[in-house]
Structure 1
Amino acid sequence: MADISWEDAFCGEGNNCYRIGVDGYGNSYIARSGQEDAYLTDTREALRQLIRDIKAGKADHLLDG
């Protein structure tokens, strides 16, 4: 597993919590809080857009599980 530095969890409405992180190479990661070993990775801009959509309530269905 990559050496990822995770930020504090962000919890939206409905208790959907996720964390974002970066590694020493500048790669970005996103995972559901408590499931950091099952992360997604992409460019920083792609993850920023996903976070914007989540905060706007456009992607809450992605966090249900």
Structure 2
Amino acid sequence: MSEIQWEEAFCGEGNSCFRLGTDETGNAYIAVSGQEDRFITDSREALRTMILDIKAGKADHLLQS
């Protein structure tokens, strides 16, 4: 497996911090900051869109208990 180069963490207000990463072949990854060994992968655009949607409040209904 290629080495993943992680970007700086993206942190929401009082929420978990996420990190985006890429490898030398252009695959994209996302992980909770501090748990980079447990990641999901998709296209960079799809992962960035997901984070922006969460930040915009489009997933609030998933976070309520």
TM-score (norm 2): 0.80
CA RMSD of the aligned region, Å?
1.8
Partners of 1:53 and 1:44 in 2: CA distance: 14
What are structure 1's unaligned runs of at least 5 residues? Answer: none
TM-score (norm 1): 0.80
What are structure 2's unaligned runs of at least 5 residues? Answer: none
Which residue matches 2:40? Answer: 40
Structure with the largest fraction of helix:
1
How many angstroms does 1:45 deviate by? 2.0
Q: State, as a whole percentage, how many aligned pairs show the same letter.
A: 68
Which residue matches 2:49? Answer: 49
Q: How many residues align structurally?
A: 62
Larger gyration radius, structure 1 or structure 2: 2
- After TM superposition, the structure 1 = structure 2 runs for residues 1-65 of structure 1, keeping only pairs within 5 Å, are 1-59=1-59, 61=62
How many angstroms does 1:47 deviate by? 0.8
